[in-house]
Structure 1
Amino acid sequence: MGDMPRFLDRYQLERPRSDHPLGFAAALADHHVPGISLALLEHGEVTQTWTMGRRSVTSDAPVEPDTLFQAGSISKSIAAACVLRLADEGVLDLDTDVNELLKSWQVPANDGWQPHVTLRQLLAHTAGTTVHGLIGYPPGMPVPSVPDLLDGHGNSAPVRVTALPGVRHGYSGGGYTIAQLALTDVTGLDFDTLAWELVFEPAGMVHSTFAQPLDRARAANAAAGHRPGPAPVAGGWHTYPDMAAAGLWSTASDLARFFAAIRASVAGAPGALLSEQSARAMLARGAPNVPYGLGVTIAEPGEPAFVGNSGTDEGYRSWAGIHLADGSGAAVMANGDYGYELITDVLLPALRREYGWPAAPAAPTPAVAAGDLAGRYASGDDEFLVAETDAGLTLTVPGQPSVPLTAGTDGGWRARVLNVDVRFADRDGDRVLVLHQELVPHADVEATRVTG
């Protein structure tokens, strides 16, 4: 156990780069996240754990390495591993029509048309099922049975097949709830017991549980979820009968151990959690439109091989993953709705830098004189003016003062006064400006130089 290391104290999220970096405690406060827990993976082993903050704003109890958080959709990774373990044991087949496995409920027909849905499709989110996510049940609200939940007798819509199964990825927590029911119907075990026997115990996840609701002893060691404010979720947390989709309680170390166990399975290690065949099926892309396997996110083509997942429950955010080549990675759990911004924009970039995590090779950028980059660039109705100065370049958009750009060591250009980076590329004879803004993920702007 330890406090967050100093190399994480370079926080500038949602501040201009010209501001002096703040410490990580300020990051928690700014984002209304009371506490956070992190486990570091090196060479496929948990080597360090760090915690900071409190389990609740109403208590002085600190977050500790064994503090439980809700893991949201990382539940799906555990559920998929349960299915694959049973497939390894010959108890079920991934490609059997799930209605042949279900006893207490059936996937309904649509006006006489009966869809054939398989566990493989449910785990890959390609079954065409509805209900993207579920919000759980606050204290005092009746919690439906799983069959009742699937029929819409709770606080979510009925789960139905509305797209062709097996064609495209369409995220569905409802589909995972069908898979959960199939597992309990086939085995006769409750889902928490099933997960303990198949995954938690063999993977060394000694603190994890699907108990919904938590018993008193575990509840005393749990972090409360928080809304912005920060204000605790009413009652501390919600109850999730859709356990396979969102009901996992865990620790950062347990999540890290799980993904390390998946990496060992992919490598065919003796006594691994899954057979090598099942592990590789888990990491195979289920549909062409999204890098998602069976219950896990995987790398895009050209990126280092990776397996992981992220999770969101009411008042909680989590992330966990491991690089398959060198076993580096981490797991992070936070008890605030804005925790994911801290994880993806502060923690993970800092860990990548500090520990040299594998990264996709950067496209080579030829050395080009600043003057040769100057000119007007257009992207639809947007126009960018690049001008040469004694210090480098400036970037101007209509109605704004010019932003100075400084040359980076990788051939790109960096704005110090904003969280903006600019690269230039040659494509089919045209020079293209690529504008990356840190606070607008997956929304890079590409503009082509205007000639004449």
Structure 2
Amino acid sequence: NVLKPMGMASSFYGAPQTPAQLKMVSTAYHMDGSEVPGKYHIYPEQAAAALWTNPSDLAQYIIETQLAWNGRSAKVLDQSTTKLRLTPVMENAALGVFIIKKPDGTYFSHGGANEGFRCQYYGNVDNGNGVVVMVNSDNGAILNEIVNSVAEVYGWKEFYKQTVKKLASVPDDVLNKYAGKYLMEKDTVVISKSGDHLAVQAPNEPMFEIFPESQTLFFIKEIPIQVEFSDGKMFVLNSGRRTEARKL
């Protein structure tokens, strides 16, 4: 009642079982390039982690959402329900999507991260622009690079804005103070020091060097995330959200 009306003919929920499903499923890979045991991980959470899809099918969902928003389709949700679903209820978080305002319109977006897979999509409800990028690896650092390249080539106005930052000089004793393990929600995030710089490592994510723009605020070059240290705590700033982590 949901996937087929949107034209998501190759998508399904649950563990791959039929020969046709097994033929379509990609092999998942860890950060080090090794194959995930069994080729992929099966999650028991059906709603959150059981959808198997591909970029072409997920693009059909984006298109249907854009059409429904503008009252041009109602294959699953009508215009009023679609607009309700895309209305932020907490900061920029709506029902199942994040809302991002840009000069050329309003985008709805979400990322995906299961063991051995990473994904990111954007859809603009005002002009029909959209993109879906998927990789069968825990290393998803290339996702934003591809998205930003699409935005530049196709002229998405100010979607990607180059940021020029000036590096600050942070004393060695301050860097040592920031290094350690931090508990963020249920995950342990490690801040390590090597020479005169720090790096951040989250579970099942690549390690990123963080660069100081002040004595307390650091940034990651590869992805738009900032890390702030204050009073023995660490704060991760990502897409308008500020997540606190306490030092262990």
Does the TM-score normalized on the shorter chain lie above 0.5? Answer: yes
Deviation at 1:272, TM superposition (A): 4.2
| 1:212–1:241 contact (8 Å) kept in structure 2 | no
1:272-311 equivalences under 5 Å are 272-288=75-91, 291-300=92-101, 304-311=105-112
1:51-90 equivalences under 5 Å are none
SS at match of 2:32: coil
Aligned-partner Cα distance in 2 for 1:221–1:260: 23
| 1:283–1:293 contact (8 Å) kept in structure 2 | yes
Aligned-partner Cα distance in 2 for 1:351–1:240: 32
Aligned to 2:132: 331
SS at match of 1:443: strand
Aligned to 2:48: 245
Aligned to 2:190: none
Letter in 2 for 1:235: G
Aligned-partner Cα distance in 2 for 1:226–1:287: 34
Aligned-partner Cα distance in 1 for 2:52–2:160: 36
Cα pair distance change 1:314/1:268, threshold 3 Å:
same
Task: Indicate the structure with greater strand content.
Answer: 2
| TM-score, normalisation: structure 1 | 0.37
Aligned-partner Cα distance in 2 for 1:351–1:302: 17
1:295-444 equivalences under 5 Å are 295-300=96-101, 304-338=105-139, 340-344=140-144, 346-359=145-158, 438-439=221-222, 441-443=224-226
Letter in 1 for 2:152: R
Deviation at 1:216, TM superposition (A): 3.1
Task: Indicate the structure with greater helix content.
Answer: 1
Deviation at 1:260, TM superposition (A): 1.1
SS at match of 1:350: helix
Aligned-partner Cα distance in 1 for 2:96–2:85: 7
| TM-score, normalisation: structure 2 | 0.64
23, 28, 44: which one pairs with 1:220? Answer: 23
Deviation at 1:444, TM superposition (A): 8.3
Deviation at 1:243, TM superposition (A): 1.6
Deviation at 1:250, TM superposition (A): 0.5
Letter in 1 for 2:112: G
Q: Deviation digits for residues 364-402 of structure 1, max 9, x if unmatched?
A: xxxxxxxxxxxxx989979xxxxxxxxxxxxxxxx99xx
| 2:16–2:25 contact (8 Å) kept in structure 1 | no
229, 232, 235: which one pairs with 2:38? Answer: 235
Coordinate RMSD, CA, aligned: 3.4
| 2:102–2:159 contact (8 Å) kept in structure 1 | no
Identity %: 25
Aligned-partner Cα distance in 2 for 1:239–1:378: 45
Greater mean deviation of Cα atoms: 208-217 or 300-309: 300-309
Cα pair distance change 1:236/1:307, threshold 3 Å:
same
Q: Which has the larger radius of gyration?
A: 1
Letter in 2 for 1:356: G
Structure 1 runs of 4+ with >4 Å offset:
300-303, 377-382, 434-437
Cα pair distance change 1:275/1:379, threshold 3 Å:
farther
Cα pair distance change 1:276/1:381, threshold 3 Å:
farther
Cα pair distance change 1:251/1:273, threshold 3 Å:
same
Cα pair distance change 1:293/1:314, threshold 3 Å:
same
